[in-house]
Structure 1
Amino acid sequence: MLTAVAVAIAVAASAAACWLVTRDRLTEQLDETLSQQAKDIPAQYVEALRTKCNNSLPGDARLQLPTPYTIQIVTADGIVCTSWEKTRIPAQESDLAVAKGQIEEATHTTRANDGKEMRVTTRAYRGPITDAQGNQVAISVASPMAQVTDPLNQLALILLIVTGIGVLGAATAGLWVARAALKPVDRLTEAVEHVARTEDLTIRIPTEGEDEIARLSRSFNSMTAALASSRDLQQQLIADAGHELRTPLTSLRTNIDLLVRSEQSGRQIPAADKEALLTSVKAQMGELAALIGDLQELSRTPDTGPGGPAGVQVVPLHEIVDSALRRARLRGPSLDITAALEPWYVRGEPAALERAVVNLLDNAVKFSPEDGAVEVALSKGELRVRDHGPGIPEEDLPHVFERFWRSPSARSLPGSGLGLSIVARTAYQAGGTVELRAAAGGGAEAVLSLPGAAVPPPELPVG
């Protein structure tokens, strides 16, 4: 419809312009012809007309001038004398102005006494013929406007037919083009409805070309692929969390069952064994609490509205590292933990950054041998944590930041396999990177790089 309307307006405007130009050109040509005829009328014909007007010419004495035009003499006092066998055309003000010598020539459209529309050109006559008072007269030459209006009417009919055919053709072509162009949109609509109805995120839309519809289809495919990947990750997280939770819960149930049976049967467990059971229960409760805390941290969705997450602020990373070092020294009292920290300010969530640094240090403490050493350095936004433990096998390095992944050599140690995953997530949210690699001379080295500055921005508060 829009195409048809646009074509109709364009064709109608073109047709109207063509009709107006043709009308003006035909009228101009007729005016030129009438003006030339007025110049070329013989003096004896004008004399005959004047005599006729004075009723001095016999009725059958007519001067023959073969012309299709109506010729009239117009006097200054408004008397009009018309050529033989022609209908009289009333004189207009412009004709009288010519007769009076006020203007040289006048052209206008008027109607003869029989109602026929005429085009009239009146010129001052410079010959010897005058009116009864001896004044100069004017000569009018007229021709029917039909020789202009008839071709114009035919042209209007042709233009109307051409316009109608053009609009009909444009509407048909527009309908065909619209249907062809909207087929990808129909496919996209069907795909969206299918996903909404079945939650099937494996559907893909074929894409061809580089137009907007193809880009929209590719964006839809990318969106469904991302949603499918997210759902798979959620399902994997639930499955992994269930698996990890099952182990401490099973151990807790076994220990508690032993304590309950002891109380119910009256058979007391030896004090040393009971103390070991309670210690195991406490350790498993702590492990369970740590695992739940890690899961909550991973499942937390920060506010990503204007200005970034709600808790994001400029924080001194060196102070966070220093606080985490105090906790690490308590957990590894026999270790020699050294630190060289330079001031560095970053934008991030203080709690998340501290959790990430603590996880890196806990990892180093856990894998360090008794009376071993841990070296920590912060310089220009790069935090390095190096231990002298057994190190990480080369084949395990690509998996260390995956959720719940634990090296076979570390499965006997406490932990959930989520610590480094939390570090990677925090680094990504802060716009930085994290890397774990084998250190020269043995052990492992973790490198956390965060963008920032050595001094805090003056316009932002420091957390």
Structure 2
Amino acid sequence: MTVIAATAIAVSLFVAFQVADELLGSELRDNAENQLRADALFLATYAERPGPARIQLPPYPGSGRLVRVIGPDGSTRTPAGQPALPPASEQARRVAQGASADLMESKDGDEDGYHIYTRRTGDGAIQVARVADDSPVNQFGFGLLVIGLFCVAGGALVGRAVARTGLAPIDRLTAAAVRVARTRELDADIPDEGGGEIRRLVQAINDMLAALRDSRQAQRLLAEDAAHELKTPLTSLRLNIELLVRLDRRGTLDTALPAESRSRLLDDLGAQVAELSLLAAELTDLARGDVSDESTETLDLADVVVAAAAQARSRRPDLEVALDVTSVWVSGRPAALQRAALNLVDNAGKWSPADQPVEVRLRAEGTSAVLEVDDAGPGIDAADVPRVFDRFYRADSARALPGSGLGLSIVQRVVQAHGGRVTVARSGRGGALLRVVLPIPSARLTAAP
């Protein structure tokens, strides 16, 4: 910024000097020419009666104007002691011969330049000349140069001071960002100072740090919750395996555990492994957040819901799902939406009595696609409703049922990532009613009949 300020001032002064030099030079030339015309008119009036050939020319006073008389034959006379002028030009001789009334010329002599004015009078012409004096222009240019140098230096100093003052918040912001990167401490906000773009930049970075703090806190809580949830099944699995290994080493496996007990123990091990596999898969899905390689596309949500219901039936052959779906097109990730729908059906299947189906309804309401899944179970207690979508949260009545406590949390994350919302209420059959609302793309609304 210092260099830019100094360069801008220097360029401005150069342009101003060129313009002022041209104006001053033009003004001086006009004044000199006007003075020459006035002197020539006076001398022409003085020489009118005797004629140029007989006019008496007084000696040169040593300074001031220069005079020369040109006869009709081209001969010239000058006052005694006067410096020699450049030879009369052909145009000046024609004026003396009557070809034109006057002539203004600029000529270079042996040492100086001259402004020469020729005026016809009688049978000849009078020439008046002055030395072209460029000293005022040169003095003006030198003064302007000195002033310009001071202005450039002053502008550079002022520009440096302004730049340092204006960029001080950026320096402090950079130092704070380096400190955060070095210490990995995200708790301290960067002071909100400066104005305009700098203030918005500081606020944006503070918002980014707040988001990073929230993300780190969420990761820490997820790790703590996962460790807590994994502790019980891992402990049970380890104890059962240790029991089998100890009895096998003693050679008393067949006698200490009857076939029925051994079969029940193996079933428990299989169930625990399946529960751990499900928990690991859901933890992985939840930890990924919104990061996914799956691309977004326009799809029929009815196909997704039907596929999720079929997958739920394949997991639990005794589960009955009653579908009432209509074609509704949305924009989203097919696998993520199918996972959310599957979790909703699985959750409802845990609560529905064997003789009551899980009802799944899909329809369009205005600019939204509405998916409802309800069961005929006992419903969700009012105290549990605020926490039903929390990770690992399981109501007291659900602790004996299989599951990880992550299903509805994954549903909420997927729905929010697609710009929708999910709510829970009591269904008309007394059970839980989970309602998902997703936006329909405006292009589909325009194309709808």
Normalised TM-score (structure 1): 0.84
Quick one: which of 99, 116, 127 aligns to 1:140? 127
Tell me: CA distance 1:407–1:85, structure 2 relative to 1, closer, same or farther (3 Å): farther
Q: State how 1:284-323 maps to structure 2 within 5 Å.
A: 284-300=272-288, 309-323=293-307
Q: What one-letter code is carried by the residue in structure 2 that aligns with 1:164?
A: L
Tell me: CA distance 1:253–1:443, structure 2 relative to 1, closer, same or farther (3 Å): same
SS at match of 1:325: helix
Return the offset for 1:26. Answer: 1.5
SS at match of 2:54: helix
Q: What one-letter code is carried by the residue in structure 2 that aligns with 1:341?
A: V
Return the offset for 1:439. Answer: 3.7
Q: What one-letter code is carried by the residue in structure 2 that aligns with 1:359?
A: N
Q: Tell whether 2:13 aligns with 1:26.
A: no
Range 260-269 or range 177-186, more displaced? 260-269
Deviations 1:7-56 (A, max 9, x none): 1111121122112111111211211221122222254446486237xxxx
Rounded Cα–Cα distance in structure 2 between residues aligned with 1:404 and 1:199: 29
Does the 8 A contact of 2:59 with 2:82 survive in 1?
no
Q: Tell whether 2:104 aligns with 1:104.
A: no
Tell me: CA distance 1:88–1:297, structure 2 relative to 1, closer, same or farther (3 Å): same
Quick one: which of 100, 115, 118 aligns to 1:119? 115
Rounded Cα–Cα distance in structure 1 between residues aligned with 2:25 and 2:279: 92
Return the offset for 1:92. Answer: 2.6
Does the 8 A contact of 1:317 with 1:344 survive in 2?
yes
Range 85-94 or range 252-261, more displaced? 85-94
Rounded Cα–Cα distance in structure 2 between residues aligned with 1:175 and 1:112: 51
Quick one: which of 236, 239, 262 aligns to 1:274? 262
Rounded Cα–Cα distance in structure 2 between residues aligned with 1:70 and 1:323: 113
Return the offset for 1:76. Answer: 5.1
Does the 8 A contact of 1:343 with 1:454 survive in 2?
no
Return the offset for 1:181. Answer: 1.3
Q: Tell whether 2:203 aligns with 1:218.
A: yes
SS at match of 2:53: helix
Does the 8 A contact of 1:120 with 1:140 survive in 2?
yes
The equivalent of 1:86 in structure 2 is 82
SS at match of 1:450: strand
Does the 8 A contact of 1:345 with 1:454 survive in 2?
no
SS at match of 1:51: coil
Does the 8 A contact of 2:58 with 2:79 survive in 1?
no
Rounded Cα–Cα distance in structure 1 between residues aligned with 2:260 and 2:150: 104
Q: What one-letter code is carried by the residue in structure 2 that aligns with 1:51?
A: R
Does the 8 A contact of 1:117 with 1:145 survive in 2?
yes
Tell me: CA distance 1:71–1:275, structure 2 relative to 1, closer, same or farther (3 Å): same
Rounded Cα–Cα distance in structure 1 between residues aligned with 2:327 and 2:132: 98
Q: State how 1:201-280 maps to structure 2 within 5 Å.
A: 201-265=186-250, 266=252, 267-280=255-268
Tell me: CA distance 1:185–1:209, structure 2 relative to 1, closer, same or farther (3 Å): closer
Return the offset for 1:441. Answer: 6.5
Rounded Cα–Cα distance in structure 2 between residues aligned with 1:322 and 1:143: 108
Deviations 1:99-126 (A, max 9, x none): 344443322222456x33322111222x
The equivalent of 1:461 in structure 2 is none
SS at match of 1:119: strand
Tell me: CA distance 1:209–1:193, structure 2 relative to 1, closer, same or farther (3 Å): closer
Tell me: CA distance 1:98–1:412, structure 2 relative to 1, closer, same or farther (3 Å): farther
Return the offset for 1:377. Answer: 0.8
Does the 8 A contact of 2:52 with 2:125 survive in 1?
no
Rounded Cα–Cα distance in structure 1 between residues aligned with 2:296 and 2:156: 57
Does the 8 A contact of 1:95 with 1:106 survive in 2?
yes
Tell me: CA distance 1:121–1:339, structure 2 relative to 1, closer, same or farther (3 Å): same
Q: Which consecutive residues of structure 1, in runs of 5 or more, have no partner in the other structure?
A: 131-136, 458-463
Q: What one-letter code is carried by the residue in structure 1 that aligns with 2:22?
A: L
Q: Tell whether 2:341 aligns with 1:357.
A: yes
Q: What one-letter code is carried by the residue in structure 2 that aligns with 1:417?
A: G
The equivalent of 2:413 in structure 1 is 425
> How big is the alpha-carbon RMSD for the aligned residues of Structure 1 and Structure 2?
3.1
Tell me: CA distance 1:123–1:392, structure 2 relative to 1, closer, same or farther (3 Å): farther
Rounded Cα–Cα distance in structure 2 between residues aligned with 1:232 and 1:17: 67
Q: What one-letter code is carried by the residue in structure 2 that aligns with 1:88?
A: A
Rounded Cα–Cα distance in structure 1 between residues aligned with 2:271 and 2:216: 33
Q: Tell whether 2:407 aligns with 1:407.
A: no
Q: State how 1:322-401 maps to structure 2 within 5 Å.
A: 322-329=306-313, 337-380=321-364, 381-401=369-389
Rounded Cα–Cα distance in structure 2 between residues aligned with 1:76 and 1:273: 149
Count of paired positions = 435
Q: Tell whether 2:177 aligns with 1:192.
A: yes
Rounded Cα–Cα distance in structure 2 between residues aligned with 1:85 and 1:455: 102
Does the 8 A contact of 1:397 with 1:436 survive in 2?
yes
Rounded Cα–Cα distance in structure 1 between residues aligned with 2:176 and 2:138: 56
Tell me: CA distance 1:398–1:86, structure 2 relative to 1, closer, same or farther (3 Å): farther
SS at match of 2:256: coil
Rounded Cα–Cα distance in structure 1 between residues aligned with 2:113 and 2:315: 115
Range 195-204 or range 447-456, more displaced? 447-456
Q: Which consecutive residues of structure 2, in runs of 5 or more, have no partner in the other structure?
A: none
SS at match of 1:50: coil
Rounded Cα–Cα distance in structure 2 between residues aligned with 1:454 and 1:139: 94
Quick one: which of 32, 46, 70 aligns to 1:74? 70
Tell me: CA distance 1:170–1:100, structure 2 relative to 1, closer, same or farther (3 Å): same
Q: What one-letter code is carried by the residue in structure 1 that aligns with 2:351?
A: F
Q: What one-letter code is carried by the residue in structure 2 that aligns with 1:179?
A: R
Tell me: CA distance 1:109–1:395, structure 2 relative to 1, closer, same or farther (3 Å): farther
Does the 8 A contact of 1:314 with 1:456 survive in 2?
no
Does the 8 A contact of 1:346 with 1:453 survive in 2?
yes
Q: What one-letter code is carried by the residue in structure 2 that aligns with 1:349?
A: R
The equivalent of 1:134 in structure 2 is none
- Give % identity: 37
Tell me: CA distance 1:109–1:330, structure 2 relative to 1, closer, same or farther (3 Å): closer
Tell me: CA distance 1:77–1:454, structure 2 relative to 1, closer, same or farther (3 Å): closer
Normalised TM-score (structure 2): 0.87
The equivalent of 2:39 in structure 1 is 37
The equivalent of 1:460 in structure 2 is none
Return the offset for 1:144. Answer: 2.4
The equivalent of 2:7 in structure 1 is 5
Q: What one-letter code is carried by the residue in structure 2 that aligns with 1:430?
A: H
Rounded Cα–Cα distance in structure 1 between residues aligned with 2:8 and 2:91: 45
SS at match of 1:406: coil
The equivalent of 1:51 in structure 2 is 54
Return the offset for 1:337. Answer: 3.7
